[in-house]
């Protein structure tokens, strides 16, 4: 069976780069801006999450006044994506990759709406999220309600609304297929706790809402897995709305998000790998490489040297605790560092061979792009 991969449809107007692993879903000049589709939807009230049914038409009627088509032009960008209103002040959430580099931003409400000028409030490539704002007097809209994505369960209904291939106002439905996925952000870092869905999403759905059975937003549609074709494969990914809730206040105040940075890459340790490599702990984050001159390097942490048959680099320090938090895997390490700020000092405990050691690390600021080394 051919291997499924995550491949990108870039927001830039140039050709697709086959080496990209970010499956961005913006449309780059694929359709004229006037191309639309008109899904039928009879007014109805969405059902509750626990009722066992799903009223897609009712959900669509409830939220359609808060979903937009985003058009990004200029600055080397020529793309179309989706977005949704999150506040009465005209704040609109979308994907970073939709608007990246553009200097002319417009949004359209509904299937036949006129373009409304928007400005960029802030953008965060590490979560692939961006916040736009329009003058609330320029359009009639209703902000969407935001759920708590931590409460989402596998198998629950999921509804996606957006502008696939420039076809504004399109709605699809499915289920939440999986949770806690990791995808690669546009700057090469990892986005964690991602929601997987089989609701059909395609290029142009980027930045649109993934909704639950109550019509509340649980995620921001961002990527698709493909098998060589840039279209829906039944495997789509949405950035959890809880992540957006953390990012939005910083985008409002500073226009960007500064994150703490340790400067290591690590691999997951499980009991089988621990036995194979004769590690002193059955769980942890095994350091693969340390960024030269980074915070971990300055504190004396070491990466590995020899690669195993499974592709893991052996011989590096095994991180098992950051501050008061036990580290079971690289996600724990990322979460522990992510909860801190640049300049914070944190005690890291690790094994070097069979010796348990500790180091106090002064965290740096995450660079704009992940190291490719």
Give the domain ranges of the chain.
49-254, 260-365
Count CB atoms within 10 A of the CB of residue 156: 15
The token pair at 299 is 């504190």
Q: Which CATH architecture has domain 49-254?
A: Beta Barrel (2.40)
**Domains 49-254 and 260-365 fall in the same CATH topology:** no
Is 356 a residue whose pLDDT tops 60? yes
Is 7 a residue whose pLDDT tops 60? no
Task: Give catalytic status of residue 97 as yes or no.
Answer: yes
Q: What is the pLDDT of residues 106-128, one digit of tens each?
A: 999 988 889 999 999 999 999 99
Task: Give catalytic status of residue 170 as yes or no.
Answer: no
Q: What is the pLDDT of residues 260-312, one digit of tens each?
A: 999 999 999 999 999 999 999 999 999 999 999 999 999 999 999 887 767 89
Q: pTM for the complete prediction?
A: 0.80
Is 232 a residue whose pLDDT tops 70? yes
Question: Of residues 55, 91, 96, 97, which has the active-site annotation?
Answer: 97
The CATH number for 260-365, chosen from 3.40.50.970, 1.10.3470.10, 2.160.20.80, 2.30.42.10, is 2.30.42.10
Task: Give catalytic status of residue 206 as yes or no.
Answer: yes
Is 89 a residue whose pLDDT tops 70? yes
Question: Of residues 78, 124, 128, 242, which has the active-site annotation?
Answer: 128
State mean pLDDT over 206-232.
89
pLDDT value of residue 27: 53
Is 11 a residue whose pLDDT tops 90? no
Question: Of residues 206, 233, 265, 266, which has the active-site annotation?
Answer: 206
> Cα(212)–Cα(218) distance, rounded to whole angstroms?
6
Is 49 a residue whose pLDDT tops 60? no
Q: What is the pLDDT of residues 127-186, one digit of tens each?
A: 999 999 999 999 999 999 999 999 999 999 999 999 998 899 899 999 999 999 989 999
């Amino acid at each position: 069976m051919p291997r499924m991969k995550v491949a990108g449809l870039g927001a830039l107007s140039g050709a697709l780069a086959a080496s990209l692993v970010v499956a961005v879903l913006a449309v780059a000049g694929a359709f004229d801006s006037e191309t639309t589709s008109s899904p039928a939807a009879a007014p109805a009230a969405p059902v509750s999450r626990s009722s066992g049914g799903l009223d897609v038409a009712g959900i669509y009627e409830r939220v359609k006044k808060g979903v937009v088509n985003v058009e990004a032009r200029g600055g080397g960008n020529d793309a179309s994506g989706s977005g949704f209103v999150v506040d009465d002040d005209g704040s609109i959430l979308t994907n970073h990759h939709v608007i990246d580099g553009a200097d002319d931003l417009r949004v359209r409400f509904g299937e036949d709406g006129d373009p409304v000028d928007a400005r960029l409030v802030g953008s965060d490539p590490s979560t692939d999220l961006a916040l736009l704002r329009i003058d609330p007097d320029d359009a009639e809209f209703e902000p969407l309600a935001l759920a708590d994505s931590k409460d989402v369960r596998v198998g629950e209904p999921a509804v996606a609304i957006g502008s696939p291939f420039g076809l504004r106002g399109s709605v699809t439905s499915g289920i939440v297929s999986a949770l806690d996925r990791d995808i690669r952000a546009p700057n090469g870092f990892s986005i964690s706790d991602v929601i997987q869905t089989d609701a059909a999403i395609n290029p142009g759905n980027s930045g649109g809402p993934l909704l639950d059975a109550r019509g509340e937003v649980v995620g921001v549609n961002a990527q698709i897995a493909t098998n060589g074709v840039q279209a829906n494969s039944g495997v789509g990914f949405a950035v959890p709305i809880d992540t957006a809730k953390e990012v939005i206040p910083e985008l409002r105040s500073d226009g960007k998000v500064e994150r703490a940075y340790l400067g290591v890459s690590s691999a997951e340790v499980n009991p089988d790998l621990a036995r194979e490599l004769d590690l002193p702990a059955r769980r942890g984050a095994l350091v693969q490489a340390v960024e030269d001159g980074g915070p971990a390097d300055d504190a004396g942490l070491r990466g590995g040297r020899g690669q195993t048959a499974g592709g893991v680099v052996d011989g590096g320090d095994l991180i098992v605790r950051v501050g008061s938090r036990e580290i079971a895997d690289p996600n724990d390490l990322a979460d522990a560092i992510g909860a801190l700020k640049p300049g914070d000092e944190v005690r890291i405990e690790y094994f070097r061979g069979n010796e348990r050691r500790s180091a106090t690390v002064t965290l740096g600021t995450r660079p704009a792009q992940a190291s490719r080394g």
